[in-house]
Structures are given as C-alpha cells and as structure tokens.
C-alpha cells in the first residue's frame, strides 16, 4: 500500500515556540481532526496487521491494548524530542499549544474530545532534578522524552470503532481539497487493515550473559541490603528498586506487531508498543498505572509485592511484601493529597496476571485544574515501586543504572487534557534479532539476594514468553 501516512509537518522539533507548520506570509496552521466511524470494530489481528505494515515500511507507530479498548496511532504528523531534565514541563507546554489549534467538525466533537490526541514516552531519567541529586544515566539511543502527534488513530472501544485522521490546514487551503485528501487516506488505511497478520509460535531464544548477570545482580542486592543496615537508622522505612537487563537472541527478526498482539492477550495488563521506525521498538505488558485523568477524577495505584500466581495466599500474608507495598502506597498517597486535597484509598487486593500476582491498592482524588496530566506524572515519577525511599539514600543507587525507557511513564493525552500514563515494566527493547528485557525488584534491608533474583527471573520470563519473530514469508517481503 502506498498510502500517504504522513502529511508534511515538523519532525524532531524541540522548540515549543515553532512547533507546527507556518507558510510565509500566512497565519499559523490549524490541526484538523476528521472522524470516520466504522460499522464494526476491527479485530485485534486487524490492528496488528496494520502495525506490521507500518513496521515493514519503516514508519513509526504506537499500539495500546487494555481489555476491549485498542488504539493504533500510525505515522508521525509531528514529533518533539526533549532532554531528560525538564522533559515533563516542556512536553506539557508543547501539548497545550497544540490543543489550542485543534479544529473538528461539530458532529463528532464530543467523541474526539475523549480520544487520544498526543502520545508521550519518557526515559526513566526524565524529571525535575534538584542540585543535590546525582543525575540518572540517560539512554544512549532513545531521547529523554518524545511527544508524538500521529498522522491517524484507529480505535475500538468494545463495539464502537472509528478512524481519526489528522492534517495541518492553513488559511490558504481549499477545505474541499483537504477533505478529499483525508477521504483518500481513510479509504487506503481501511483497506490495509483487512490483511491477515501471521501469529507465529514463540521462538527459541538464546540468553546472552545469563549466569554472569545472575551473579552480578545478587552481589548488588547483597551490597545494597548491607548499606541499608549500615547507613540508615534502625526501623527506618527504606526500599530501593534494582533493575536487571537480560539480552536474548533469536534466529529470526523480532516482530513488534505480532509481539504486541500476543501481549494484548494477557489478563490484567495494558499492552503497549512504541516503534520509532528504524530506531527500534519498545514493547511490553504493564500491570501498573502511574496516573490517569478521567473527567473530574485523578486515579493512580500502588502496585508492589510479587509472587508466582500459585502463591497468591502466601503473598497476602508475607510481611516483607506487605512492608514494601505500604511504602509505595504511602508515597503515592502523599503526592495525590498535595495535589487533590483528599485521597480515597481502596483496600489492598491481589492483581492476578498470567504468571504472577501482585499486591495492589487503588488511589484516587478530585481533579484540580492547576494540575495537568504531565505535572502529576512528574510529581509521581518514579514512585518507590520503581525508584526508592528515602530519596537521598536511593538516588545514588539508581544513578548507577542505565534504564533507558524502562520503568518510566508512557501513554496518551486527549484533546481535553485528560488521558493516562502507565509504567513501562515487563518490557523489551527489540533490535533486529536481539531483544533486551527489563525487570526490577524492590530491595529492603532484610532482602535475600537469591529470592530477589528469582523474582526478576519470573518477570523476565513473563516478558520473554510473548516475544514473536517474523514469519519467513513476511521477512522476505520486507527485504524485497
């Protein structure tokens, strides 16, 4: 298919004052959102088929699946990259200016208001640094943050579905010509979504540095636990999350679209994929919500404490996991109380996944207009579920790790400023025939290095089990 996925627009801009096209002698362009309802919702396989076609053409795309909700954001009408420091504030400023320039048809205005408009991805190192904090290591390949305005969005909510197409419109453009161009793109995109997507079995994987990585991680756990006992006051609440990176190799090229499809079948998760075209693909199945703005409510959760699925009863009674979970709950609750005035805290429960079970506590509060989605995310990230407490003690340990986009916020914001951001755990970075898997474990003073290593193994296996490679025919088609 030779569809014009991407309209002309700014690429990789980082200057908020000039972040959309402007023709000489004309006012700044406006962003036109055209909505086309579909008679029936495309299947998950149809979403993956269109994503696979984008991937084969080297075009960027973003995928999101949660229950019966699916989004596929294709192409890049415009995108902005930011350095880690101040990334949330810069992304919020650019996003606000884009929303001011959106125009929609009166009919679907209410529908478009709640659909994703902008997509946000951050590195773990993103955030407001203080002068006393040792800086976290930035990713060597991916930016500190990326804000992307896709060319189009295919969505499905249960039986409701549609396609939203974006275009820059200047004062000198002919409205009829713009509409004709949009209609042609819609027709071409819907035709591509009918192609089947191969569903290959999980490939055989070869683990690189498996034994050496295990020993190194256990040594780090032992050193951290000893430092907690030595440097902190007796009884002082403390937790630091250490991460592991495991690299695996396959005979075939990893398929981000098929992996995203497989991840979306897992219960209790938000399956995500962020493809940068030729720059690699981050895929994962996260059970953890960082923050969501829905109407007049702010929602978050504490998710900490892990066990195999068949050990749920043990997890509910284990004192070490209960203390770890309480630290996260307290930290998230304090941030929400400062910004919401009051917090509704649910009961501690069990979040059952395909292979694992977590302790989970829902938290929410009333939304205040002075706190937008990214400001809340900046205040929450990283929670002790991925970072640590006390902050002054934890930060030097975190500064020694290069996490890239692992454990960081990723999600979308809508036209009204609402949206949601997950935490990119249970994730993998795909690069050709190699994949880098990420997992973490919360370390307390009494942590056992072998037990913590086993916990990360369970999490890594959960991510590795969904990896897929391209079918031979698909690989040949891309190389031709």
Catalytic residues: 239, 288
State both tokens at 187.
């027709």
Angle formed at CA 412 by CA 135 and CA 344, multiple of 5 degrees: 85
Distance CA 351, CA 309 (A): 10
Q: Are 183 and 415 in contact (CB under 8 A)?
A: no
Tokens at residue 106, please?
A: 């009166």
Pairing of the two strands 388-389 and 239-249: antiparallel
Distance (Å, whole) CA 420 – CA 409 = 9
For residues 413 and 282, is the Cβ–Cβ distance under 8 A?
A: no
Could you tell me if 232 and 393 are in contact, meaning their C-beta atoms sit under 8 angstroms apart? yes
327: CB partners within 8 A, 6+ apart? 237, 239, 304, 384, 389
- Radius of gyration, CA atoms only, the chain: 22
The DSSP bridge pattern shows strands 160-169 and 30-37 to be: antiparallel
The three-state secondary structure class of 52 is: helix
The two tokens of residue 157 are 């909510």
CA distance 3 to 185: 6
Tell me if residue 139 falls in helix, strand or coil: coil
Residue 237 contacts residue 327 (beta carbons within 8 Å):
yes
Sequence-distant (6+) residues with CB within 8 A of 39 are none
β pairing state of 102-104 and 30-37: parallel
Are 377 and 315 within 8 A, CB to CB? no
Residue-wise over 172-182: b if at least 16 C-beta within 10 A, else e?
A: ebeeeebeebb
């Amino acid at each position: 298919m030779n569809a014009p996925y991407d309209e002309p627009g700014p690429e990789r801009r980082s200057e908020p004052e000039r972040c959309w096209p402007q023709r000489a002698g004309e006012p700044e362009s406006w962003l036109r959102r055209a909505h086309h309802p579909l008679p029936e919702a495309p299947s998950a396989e149809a979403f993956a088929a269109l994503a696979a076609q984008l991937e084969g053409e080297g075009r960027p795309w973003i995928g999101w699946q949660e229950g019966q909700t699916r989004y596929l954001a294709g192409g890049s009408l415009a995108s902005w990259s930011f350095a880690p420091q101040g990334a949330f504030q810069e992304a919020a400023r650019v996003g606000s200016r884009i929303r001011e320039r959106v125009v929609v048809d009166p009919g679907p205005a209410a529908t478009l208001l709640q659909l994703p408009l902008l997509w946000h991805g951050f590195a773990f190192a993103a955030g407001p640094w203080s002068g006393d904090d040792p800086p976290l290591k930035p990713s060597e390949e991916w930016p500190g943050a990326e804000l992307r305005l896709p060319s189009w969005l295919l969505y499905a909510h249960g039986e409701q579905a549609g396609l939203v197409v974006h275009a820059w419109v200047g004062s000198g453009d002919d409205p009829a010509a713009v509409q004709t161009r949009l209609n042609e793109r819609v027709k071409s995109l819907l035709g591509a979504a009918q192609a089947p997507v191969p569903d290959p079995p999980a490939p055989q994987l070869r683990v690189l540095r498996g034994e050496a990585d295990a020993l190194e991680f256990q040594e780090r756990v032992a050193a951290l636990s000893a430092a907690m006992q030595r440097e902190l006051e007796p009884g002082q609440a403390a937790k630091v999350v250490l991460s592991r990176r495991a690299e695996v190799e396959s005979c075939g090229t990893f398929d981000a679209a098929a992996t995203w499809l497989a991840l979306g079948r897992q219960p209790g998760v938000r399956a995500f994929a962020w493809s940068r075209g030729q720059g690699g693909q981050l895929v994962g199945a996260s059970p953890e919500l960082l923050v969501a703005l829905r109407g007049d409510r702010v929602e978050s959760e504490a998710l900490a404490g892990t066990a195999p699925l068949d050990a749920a009863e043990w997890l509910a009674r284990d004192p070490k996991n209960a203390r770890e979970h309480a630290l996260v709950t307290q930290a998230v609750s304090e941030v929400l109380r400062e910004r919401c005035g009051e917090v509704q805290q649910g009961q501690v429960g069990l979040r059952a996944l395909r292979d694992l079970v977590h302790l989970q506590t829902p938290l929410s509060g009333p939304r205040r207009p002075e706190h937008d989605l990214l400001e809340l995310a900046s205040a929450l990230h990283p929670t002790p579920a991925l970072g640590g407490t006390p902050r002054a003690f934890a930060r030097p340990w975190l500064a020694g790790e290069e996490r890239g986009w692992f454990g960081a916020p990723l999600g979308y914001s809508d036209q009204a400023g609402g949206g949601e951001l997950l935490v990119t755990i249970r994730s993998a970075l795909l690069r050709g025939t190699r994949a880098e898997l990420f997992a973490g474990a919360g370390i307390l003073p009494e942590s056992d290095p072998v037990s913590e290593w086993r916990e990360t193994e369970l999490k890594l296996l959960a991510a590795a089990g969904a990896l897929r490679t391209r079918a031979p025919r698909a690989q040949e088609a891309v190389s031709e």
